[in-house]
Amino acid sequence: MKSVNQNGKTNNDIMDKIVTFIQQTTYDSLPTQLVTLAKQAIIDTLGVSIAGWQEEAVQKIIAVYGTQSGDASLWGEARTVPEEIAALINGTASHVLDYDDASAGVIIHPSAPILAAITPVAERLQSSGKDVITAYAIGTEVMIRIGEVMGVQHYRLGWHATDTLGTLGVAAACAYLEQLTDEQCAHAVAIAASMSGGLQKNFGSMTKPLHVGLAASNGIQAVKLAAANFTGNRYIFNDRGFFLAYGGMTEEDVAQKSSAFILGSPYDLLTSLAVKKFPCCFATHRFIHGMLTLKEAHHLTLDNVEDIVLHAQSRSLLPLVHSRPQSGLQGKFSAEYTVLAALEDGHVSLTSFTDEQVQRPHIQQAFHKVTVLPLEEPNEPVKGLLPVTLRITANGHVYEHAVPIAPGSVELPLSEAEHRDKWVSCLQFYTSDVHTDAYIQCYEDGMKLEQYTSFDDWLQTVYTTIQAPVLKN
């Protein structure tokens, strides 16, 4: 049965709420904690993007698209291209190391597609730091809350939610920056819904980070079309629309969820955003943390460990598609490799995911020691994730450890020093020819982003510091 309003029209609560949220959200309405979180996330995402700049996937994208002329800056080199191309390239770089932040509730990377899109738009518009923070808050909230309507089923169907949902979030964020009308905002989101995509089957290949670039680029294009009064169907979330196509939901399912669809009260990121401590799939982080803990406590080595059994909920294992990885990219999505690397090296860092590191003979020969199994789920649904468990046999002893929370999660956040150190290590990975103090100054300036009348002024400081001054056409 269709839900209709008093005017006899099909209920469009979700789209109406999104449009209202875009139009009414202001910087002054944002919680202070969210402003701080947004600044940290913007800095973190830019840092991991610059660290990934020399990766083969990014360089191939630049080779194909980077010759087009335009006025939008690339984050890692002195070149300007059209806005959509900058979003495509910068977005790919932001996810290529899988070091960008995550939100476990809908299994998504919220910051990467949003920042990759709003940066070139803000550069053209000369948007302020406050404008960029607000656009970031709008975009991430929209993408996550739409994902919550579908729940984990969207991910189980094989979609890469960072792309499918990110495209919609980008449209919302850029619609705010472009100051679109109510009607144009609705059309932008509807157009973006038809430009969404991204399949998990491509995890462990160059196409996974490309998904972020596509989300950022497509969202910008959707907003440009809407600004020119190009139309979409503003009832895209209703019968036979987005939620059926991407989540298998009926209109009755959507009607039940729409009344509880609330944006910004509170903002989801305040309770879900996780800043990665390790440069690999977030689903591996609790396993890594557990292995490092057990290694230190019991002096474990790859040689004296006989057997490793890992347990996690099936939803947590979905992204971990490579049990016998052969490349650095595949290693990022392997529970087996990441725990063995932690055991062998005592750390998991940017240097852990080269092809050479993954192909080390003693690592490859130890894969048989690791068994990954789904946890037996309780009969009653549980809120949040159950702890992962590690059971290790070594020297005739059995050691067990449960890890409920990954480092970097809201419940176990990185310290201010850890945020800063990650930023510095990412920029040093890009180039070690710059004094650490200069990188720290960029970080400190970024944490004052709301004071910038032009967001681009801070970006240009970063570009200059990493010795990549942007040359305008």
Two tokens at 219?
Answer: 């969202």
Are 196 and 76 found together in one domain? yes
- Tell me which residue range forms the domain holding 237: 13-274
Are 288 and 210 found together in one domain? no
Are 26 and 104 found together in one domain? yes
- pLDDT value of position 256: 87
Q: Are 153 and 247 in contact (CB under 8 A)?
A: yes
Residue 101 lies in a domain: yes
Residue 465 lies in a domain: no
What is the domain-level CATH number for residue 386? 3.30.1330.120
Are 184 and 214 found together in one domain? yes
Supply angle C-alpha 255, 164, 141, rounded to 5.
Answer: 65
Q: Are 239 and 245 in contact (CB under 8 A)?
A: no
Annotate 301-312 with b (16+ C-beta within 10 A) or e (fewer).
ebeebeebbbbb
Residues 306, 85: Cα–Cα separation, whole Å: 50
Are 70 and 186 found together in one domain? yes
What is the domain-level CATH number for residue 53? 1.10.4100.10
Domain closes at, from 403, 433, 449: 403
List, for the chain, all residue ranges whose pLDDT scores fall below the cut of 50.
Answer: 1-10, 468-473
Among 282, 241, 350, 260, smallest CA distance to 111 is for 282
What angle separates helix 56-65 from helix 207-227, to the nearest 10 degrees?
Answer: 40
Domain closes at, from 256, 274, 292: 274
Beta strands in 100-182 (DSSP E): 102-103
pTM of the model: 0.91
Are 374 and 335 found together in one domain? yes
Are 179 and 290 found together in one domain? no
- pLDDT value of position 114: 98
- pLDDT value of position 435: 86
Residue 460 lies in a domain: no
Residue linked to tokens 């199994």: 373
Domain closes at, from 385, 403, 421: 403
Residue 110 lies in a domain: yes
Residue 227 lies in a domain: yes
| CA-CA-CA-CA dihedral for 176, 180, 182, 186, to nearest 10 | -80
- pLDDT value of position 383: 63
Are 247 and 338 found together in one domain? no
Residues 130, 245: Cα–Cα separation, whole Å: 36
Residue 414 lies in a domain: no
Number of domains comprising the chain:
2
Q: Are 391 and 400 in contact (CB under 8 A)?
A: yes
Are 262 and 328 found together in one domain? no
Annotate 450-461 with b (16+ C-beta within 10 A) or e (fewer).
bebebbbebbee
Residues 432, 435: Cα–Cα separation, whole Å: 8
